[in-house]
Structure 1
Amino acid sequence: MKVTDRNVIRFHLQVLYGITVKNFEKKKERLSVSGSKIFGVPLENVSRRYIPEFGLVPCFLVDACSFLLERAGTVGLFRKPGSLPRIKTLRAKLNRGEECLTSALPCDVATLIKQFCRELPEPLFPPEIHEALLKAQAQSNEQDRTSALQLLSCLLPARNLFFLFLLFTALRCAENLMTSSNLATVFAPCLLPPPNKTEMSEGRLELRVLLLRTFIENPHLFGNKPVTQSSSLTLHNI
């Protein structure tokens, strides 16, 4: 997106909704990466795969989400912790480039996904835009809230595959007992970590959960690529 386009978006957010967006540089997507380390490194430095509609996605997330989609009915998925010894072994194998997820247990893979998100040097939502996102979520009018979030999403990388996956998981809440609200509560600390103690008040934490729930239930809002009717087939076949 051109700088002028980004400035126009900032102008509309300020004038229409009183939302000021800090200046931050989007990291350029690179078509090739080196190194096998998966955890604790920037998204731009992990091995990635090009997925139509979603762009470049970390191979680990593609494989882990595909694995869990077939087991999305597992009770307490993402809430129940996996086995620490098994997870340590899985991490070591993954960092060596071994294919080991197909024989793993669902809760172990779910825990790995949480660790992957939590250990990112920069959260999936850039910290510079957290305050703007929370102000958009706090808009009392639903139409204003949606419009403001859509504008803000244009400043974010198009990474809605993960939220589409979480939506599919939530749609099976009758089996796994994990609603979109439950999933948002689990992932808010690692995707939208509070920067200081002031931001850890009950009201501010609840707003973070509500924001994440909005993106889970409407994954097309995150990033500037809409989710089409074929997206579910794309995700199932990646």
Structure 2
Amino acid sequence: MKGLDSNVIRFHLQVSHGINVKSVERKNDRLFLGGAKVFGVPLENLSRCLIPEFGLVPCFLVDACTFLLERAGTVGIFRKPGSLPRIKTLRAKLNRGEACLSTAIPYDVATLIKQFSRELPEPLFPSAIQEAMLKAQMLPSLQDRTSALQMLSCLLPARNSSCLHYLFEFLARVSRRCEENLMTSSNLATVFAPCLLPPPNMDEMSEGRFELRILILRTFIEKPQSFGAIPKVVMDSMEFLMSFKTTSSKKSTGKSHSLKAKTVPWFQGRSKVRTPITQQKQESILQERPILRRSLGLGTFPNVVLYRACMPCAEHNSSLAVSITGALNLGTDSTLQKMKNLVRGQDVVSSTSSPALHLAPWRRRSSP
């Protein structure tokens, strides 16, 4: 599977079902034989044959399943163990490349299939996929469980997917004759759970976890056509991404008459700095500006000392007049003349019939 397809499937699993899946490391499939040995050999080193519907499948698995399909009505097939001496002899002949299955006993061949899948160096379901499938099986809805398991089966490497797909299709045909062989899909899943989904440690040997593994295999045995099939929702997302990718690539390669921004060095793209204003221009600008007039209060009381002078009492008129007169020396002439006249007229005001003005020393007002 392409990297884009697997990423889209992982995205759907995370968004729709909250399942995060680690990427499964792939090994390049070797199309050449690595020897005649069958048991305990990696899939890429086995002799495989091409089946258009499934892909490259180990030749031993094809021969053994074809042999058992003709005898699928055998009672207790895959449940009853075969003879250990006969099985040992068959293993030795198969590892030497001899064709010996045509005269074998069905129970012995069924036991060889279980041993073949159990003795692989790497399980057909990698540990990362197993963990994700257990989480998928615990989803509350049946539809969600089926959809999640179907998407997870699409993340398997090609060599594992071809082998498992062929095996599930074979087990589905065996289960259809359960009235004869008494092997239902649940019985077959129970037999193959330790072979296809082996627990990685002792903690996974609990009854509840083992039941989850049985349900996973039962789903694929009952619906083998869904194994490795990408759901329609994911396919629509892939088609949209591919069309978007091709459209964007065409736009980038084709000629366009749209306006393009001209790239310039960063120091040329900066805003121009205005030249400094000369002194003559600055003086002309200042002359054109209107002169701000001082407020009436500042014109009348140019010194802060006057703000601290309040109405003095009658006995302090002469001393206060001298202090105010000294403070007014800092003001303008017109202001000084007005204030001096005001101070000199205090005696006149006090001698008139109107009540005298009482000036008190300055103090800060406090809020009541």
TM-score (ref. length: structure 2): 0.60
State how far apart, in whole Å, the 1-side matches of 2:38 and 2:8 are. 36
Residue deviations 1:73-113 (CA, integer Å, cap 9, x gap): 11110110000100111111111111100000000000000
For residue 125 of structure 1, what is the amino acid of its counterpart?
A: F
The counterpart of 2:199, out of the listed 191, 194, 211, is 194
Larger-gyration structure (1/2):
2
Structure 2, unaligned stretches of length 5 or more?
232-368
Runs of 4+ in 1 over 4 A off after TM superposition: none
Residue deviations 1:95-150 (CA, integer Å, cap 9, x gap): 11111000000000000001101101111111121111111122221221121122
Match of 1:41 in 2: 41
Match of 1:73 in 2: 73
Match of 2:13 in 1: 13
State how far apart, in whole Å, the 1-side matches of 2:51 and 2:227 are. 16
Shift of 1:225: 8.2
Residue deviations 1:175-195 (CA, integer Å, cap 9, x gap): 111111001000000100011
1:207 maps to 2:212: yes
Do the aligned residues in 2 keep the contact of 1:149 with 1:221 (CA within 8 Å)? no
Structure 1, unaligned stretches of length 5 or more?
227-238
Match of 2:183 in 1: 178
Shift of 1:196: 1.0
Q: State which drifts further: 196-205 or 3-12.
A: 3-12
Do the aligned residues in 2 keep the contact of 1:54 with 1:225 (CA within 8 Å)? no
Match of 1:164 in 2: 169
- Counterparts of residues 23-172 of structure 1 (less than 5 Å): 23-156=23-156, 157=158, 158-159=161-162, 160-172=165-177
Shift of 1:28: 3.1
For residue 41 of structure 2, what is the amino acid of its counterpart?
A: V
Match of 2:257 in 1: none
Do the aligned residues in 1 keep the contact of 2:185 with 2:222 (CA within 8 Å)? yes
Residue deviations 1:164-210 (CA, integer Å, cap 9, x gap): 00001111111111111001000000100011111111111000000
Shift of 1:2: 2.2
Greater RCO, CA 8 A, separation 6+: 1
State how far apart, in whole Å, the 1-side matches of 2:28 and 2:51 are. 17
Shift of 1:33: 2.2
For residue 188 of structure 2, what is the amino acid of its counterpart?
A: L
For residue 50 of structure 1, what is the amino acid of its counterpart?
A: L
State how far apart, in whole Å, the 1-side matches of 2:54 and 2:193 are. 22
Q: CA RMSD in A?
A: 1.5
State how far apart, in whole Å, the 2-side matches of 1:147 and 1:53 are. 22
State how far apart, in whole Å, the 2-side matches of 1:128 and 1:213 are. 20
- Counterparts of residues 199-238 of structure 1 (less than 5 Å): 199-224=204-229
Do the aligned residues in 1 keep the contact of 2:146 with 2:219 (CA within 8 Å)? no
